[in-house]
Amino acid sequence: MSLNDYAVTQLTSGLQTFDDYGLSIYIDVSADLRSGDQAVLKAKVLLIDATELHIRIFYLGGRANTLLSYAYQYQQADGTLIFRYDNARHKPDLGFEHHKHQADGKIVAAEPPRIEDLAQEVIDHITR
């Protein structure tokens, strides 16, 4: 299985959890599969409580299968942040690459979650 196929499968199967629990209104996934074993994946999930999950992932395949950049943003319908995982650079430097923005404005070191774990974090938020 190529990286492109693997990346799309991982994303769609991870997001399927929302449908499995009846928590999504819709899930929109798009994949820009590029030559050189590169993939740009985007997803938007609208959930039954009107919150939204936006995902953007850029993979570079080959021997390393590198996750170059990502942003997983969970927000209220009006755009108010609930949380976001990303690896965007900040000025001043945070001192760590992978991080999580929290609703209270804090930014903490955090590795990118697997899509299944991200889905579970969102489900925990909806069902608490």
- Print the SS3 string covering the chain: CCHHHHHHHHHHHHHHHHHHCCCEEEEEEEEEEECCCEEEEEEEEEECCCCEEEEEEEEECCCCCEEEEEEEEEECCCCCEEEEEECCCCCCCCCCCCEEEECCCCEEECCCCCHHHHHHHHHHHHHC
Residue 4: the pLDDT is 61
Q: In this predicted model, what pLDDT tens digit does every residue of 76-123 receive, in sequence order?
A: 999 999 999 999 988 888 889 999 999 999 999 999 999 999 999 999
Indicate the pLDDT class of residue 62, thresholds 50, 70 and 90.
Answer: low
pTM, entire model: 0.90
pLDDT (tens digit, 9 = 90+) per residue, 22-53? 999 999 999 887 777 788 899 999 999 999 99
